[in-house]
C-alpha cells in the first residue's frame, strides 16, 4: 500500500506539472505520456465493458513488464474496484540447434543459454461493482522503461552562409506491446533527477532552501502522437523560420568532461591543469536561439549542412544542441574546422583554499595569439568544473555570459598580428 501511494503521488505529480496545468479541462480524455531520459510515465485510459450490474470481472492490457503492484488507479469513474490482479506472458525463443562453445555431460553439443524473449503485454484483471451494465472508462498510471527516445537536428544554410534553417525530430521507440494514442511530452532529464529538482524548487519556495540558479528541464509538448510498435518520428520544429548566423572563433580547451555537479568543490590542485593543454581555436558559426520556440527542446546531435548550387548537400560541421551545460545559453555554436593562424593558451595563476570561510579561489589567464593580418573575434568558453556553487568574482573580457550550470563564455577581439589576454577569477563556496 505504501508503495502504491508513493507511485500515485509520482504519477499525479508528474502528469499534473508543467504546461499541462494551463490546458482547458474540456480537453478530450485519453492517454498521456511523459518521456524522460530513462523512463516514461504513462496515464492510460482503458475501457471496461461490464456485462452486468453489481459484481463483474474484466480484463484489459497495459504495457509489458509492468508489475501489478506498480499500477495505480488514478480515476475509477463510477466503478467500485475491489480487486486488482495482473499477469504477463514471457515468450522464449527456440533453442539454437548447436554451438561448439558449450558441451554438457550428456555428450551432446548445445547452444549457449538464450535470454528470455520479449515479455508480452501485462493483463490487468479488475473485480468491479458497477451501477449498471455498460462501458466505463478507468485511468491507470504506471512507469515503464519500454518506451525510449532520441532527438536529432539539422541546420541548413546556403553558400552565402548568412542564415540557417533549424529542423529537428524525436524518434520514439515503443516496445510495450500495446499501441498508444496519447498527448505526449518530453523532458530532457532522468525521472529521479527531475523529481529532485521539483522538490528543490518546492523547498526553496516553502522553506527558503538554496537551489540551483540553472532552470529545471522544461516539458516539451509533442502534441497527440500515435505510438505503434517500433519507431515513431515526431517533428520538433515544423515551419521554423530561418535564423541569422555569423562566423566566429571559439576557444574551448577543457570541455564538459571534468564537470562535477556537487555542492562542495573538488579540491584536487591538479584538476584542469594540463602541461600539454589544447591550443586549438575553431572556426565556428554562431546561431542565436529563439527562446519561445527553443524552450524545452531535448538535447541531441546536430549537423550543419550547406545546400550547394546544384541542389546537393554537403556537411560543414557537427555539434550538440540544448545540452544541460548550455541550457541558459542565448546562442549555439557549431565548429567547422581549425582556425588557421589563431591559437589559445590557458594558464592558472592562483589556487587558494580557505577552510575557515569555506572558499576556494581560482584565477586563470587565457591568451589568444593572432598571426592573421586582420582582427579576429574569439569566444572563450570556460567550464567551472569544480562544483556548482560558484561566483565569477572578476573578469577582464566583455559580455560575460552564463550558458549553463557550470559554463560561461567570455569574448575578446584580438588585433591583427597581436595577442590578447583575458583574466578571470572564480570563487567556489560550500555549506
User: Does 265 lie in the same domain as 226?
Assistant: no
Q: Is the pLDDT of residue 25 over 60?
A: no
pLDDT above 50 (res 425): yes
Choose the weakest-confidence range: 13-17, 49-53, 372-376, 384-388: 13-17
As a whole number, mean pLDDT of residues 296-314 equals: 95
- CB contact set of 54 (below 8 Å; sequence gap of 6+): 129, 130
Average pLDDT, the chain: 84
> Both 181 and 282 in a single domain?
no
Helices (H), 233-333: 291-294
Chain centroid offset of residue 257 CA: 17
The structure's pTM equals: 0.80
Please check whether residues 48 and 87 belong to one and the same domain.
Answer: yes
What are the beta bridge partners of residue 156? 165, 305
**pLDDT given for residue 258 in this prediction:** 94
Q: Which domain holds residue 15?
A: 1-148+175-235
Does a structural domain hold residue 306?
no
Tell me: do 181 and 276 sit in the same domain: no
pLDDT of residue 276: 76
The pLDDT value recorded for residue 212 is 54
3-state helix, strand, coil in the chain (%, to 5): 10, 50, 40
pLDDT of residue 110: 39
DSSP letter (8 states) at residue 196:
H
Both 354 and 231 in a single domain?
no
57 plus 102 within the same structural domain: yes
Strand, helix or coil for residue 236: coil
- For the segment 111-126, the average pLDDT, to the nearest whole number, is 62
> Does pLDDT of 414 surpass 70?
yes
CA distance 419 to 49: 78
264 and 381 within one domain: yes
Among the listed residues 365, 364, 361, the one whose alpha carbon sits nearest the alpha carbon of residue 351: 361
* Rounded alpha-carbon distances, angstroms, from residue 208 to 95, 200, 202, 203, 205: 61, 10, 9, 7, 6
Q: Does the pLDDT at position 281 exceed 80?
A: yes
Question: Does residue 423 lie within any of the structural domains?
Answer: yes
Do 253 and 273 lie in one domain? The reply is yes
Q: Which of 409, 418, 333, 314 is nearest to 373 (CA)?
A: 418
Residue at 313 is within a domain = no
Q: What percent of the chain has pLDDT over 90?
A: 59
pLDDT band at 27 (very low <50, low <70, confident <90, very high): very low
The CATH number that applies at residue 271 is 2.60.40.290
Is residue 317 one of the residues assigned to a domain? no
Residue 187 falls inside a structural domain: yes
Residue 2 has pLDDT above 50, yes or no: no
Pairing of strands 407-414, 376-383: antiparallel
Q: Is residue 66 part of a domain?
A: yes
Asked if residue 323 is part of any domain, the answer here is no
Return d(Cα 143, Cα 149) in angstroms, integer.
15
402 plus 341 within the same structural domain:
yes
Mean pLDDT across 23-39: 67
At residue 95 the predicted structure's pLDDT band, cuts being 50, 70 and 90, is very low
Count CA atoms closer than 13 A to 264's CA, side-chain side: 7
**Site of grid cell 584536487:** 268
93 confidence band (pLDDT: 50, 70, 90): very low
Task: Indicate if the pLDDT at residue 199 is higher than 60.
Answer: no
Rounded to whole angstroms, how far apart are CA atoms 122 and 142?
12
- Count of the separate structural domains present in the chain: 2
Q: Is residue 275 part of a domain?
A: yes
Please determine, for residue 312, whether its predicted confidence score (pLDDT) is greater than 70: yes
Q: What pLDDT, on the 0 to 100 scale, is given for residue 229?
A: 92
Please compute the mean of the pLDDT values over residues 177-204 and round it to a whole number. 75
Q: Quick one: 80 and 32 in the same domain?
A: yes
Residue 116 pLDDT greater than 60, yes or no: no
pLDDT in the model for residue 214 = 59
pLDDT digit string (tens) for 401-411? 999 999 999 99
Report pLDDT for 47.
Answer: 87
Residues 359 and 254 occupy one common structural domain: yes
Please report the pLDDT score of residue 318 as a whole number: 96
Q: Are residues 130 and 252 in the same domain?
A: no
Amino acid at each position: 500500500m505504501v508503495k502504491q501511494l508513493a507511485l500515485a503521488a509520482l504519477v499525479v505529480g508528474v502528469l499534473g506539472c508543467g504546461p499541462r496545468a494551463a490546458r482547458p479541462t474540456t480537453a478530450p480524455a485519453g492517454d498521456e505520456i511523459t518521456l524522460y531520459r530513462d523512463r516514461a510515465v504513462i496515464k492510460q485510459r482503458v475501457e471496461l465493458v461490464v456485462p452486468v450490474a453489481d459484481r463483474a470481472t474484466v480484463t484489459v492490457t497495459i504495457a509489458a513488464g509492468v508489475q501489478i503492484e506498480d499500477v495505480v488507479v488514478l480515476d475509477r469513474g463510477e466503478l467500485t474496484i475491489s480487486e486488482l490482479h495482473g499477469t504477463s506472458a514471457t515468450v522464449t525463443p527456440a533453442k539454437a540447434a548447436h554451438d561448439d562453445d558449450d558441451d554438457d555431460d550428456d555428450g551432446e553439443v548445445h547452444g549457449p543459454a538464450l535470454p528470455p524473449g520479449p515479455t508480452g503485454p501485462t493483463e490487468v484483471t479488475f473485480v468491479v461493482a458497477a451501477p449498471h451494465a455498460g462501458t466505463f472508462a478507468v485511468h491507470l498510471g504506471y512507469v515503464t522503461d519500454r518506451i525510449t527516445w532520441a532527438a536529432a537536428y539539422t541546420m541548413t544554410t546556403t553558400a552565402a552562409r548568412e542564415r540557417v534553417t533549424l529542423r529537428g525530430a524525436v524518434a520514439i521507440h515503443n516496445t510495450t506491446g500495446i499501441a498508444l494514442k496519447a498527448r505526449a511530452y518530453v523532458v530532457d532529464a532522468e525521472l529521479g533527477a527531475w523529481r529532485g529538482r521539483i522538490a528543490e524548487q518546492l523547498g526553496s519556495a516553502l522553506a527558503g532552501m538554496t537551489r540551483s540558479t540553472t532552470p529545471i528541464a522544461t516539458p516539451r509538448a509533442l502534441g497527440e502522437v500515435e505510438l505503434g510498435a517500433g519507431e515513431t518520428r515526431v517533428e520538433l520544429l515544423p515551419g521554423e523560420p530561418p535564423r541569422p548566423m555569423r562566423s566566429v572563433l571559439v576557444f574551448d580547451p577543457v570541455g564538459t568532461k571534468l564537470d562535477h555537479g556537487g555542492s562542495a568543490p573538488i579540491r584536487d590542485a591538479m584538476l584542469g591543469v594540463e602541461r600539454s593543454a589544447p591550443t586549438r581555436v575553431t572556426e565556428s558559426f554562431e546561431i542565436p536561439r529563439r527562446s519561445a520556440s527553443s524552450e524545452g527542446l531535448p538535447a541531441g546531435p546536430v549537423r550543419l549542412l550547406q545546400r550547394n548550387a546544384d541542389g546537393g548537400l554537403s556537411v560543414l560541421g557537427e555539434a550538440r544542441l540544448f545540452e544541460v551545460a548550455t541550457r541558459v545559453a542565448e546562442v549555439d555554436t557549431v565548429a567547422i574546422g581549425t582556425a588557421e593562424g589563431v591559437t589559445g593558451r590557458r594558464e592558472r595563476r592562483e589556487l587558494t583554499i580557505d577552510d575557515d570561510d569555506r572558499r576556494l579561489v581560482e584565477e586563470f589567464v587565457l591568451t589568444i595569439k593572432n598571426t592573421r593580418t586582420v582582427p579576429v573575434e574569439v569566444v572563450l568558453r570556460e567550464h567551472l568544473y569544480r562544483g556548482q556553487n560558484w561566483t565569477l568574482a572578476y573578469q577582464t573580457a566583455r559580455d560575460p555570459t552564463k550558458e549553463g550550470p557550470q559554463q560561461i563564455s567570455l569574448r575578446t577581439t584580438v588585433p591583427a598580428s597581436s595577442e590578447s589576454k583575458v583574466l578571470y577569477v572564480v570563487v567556489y563556496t560550500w555549506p
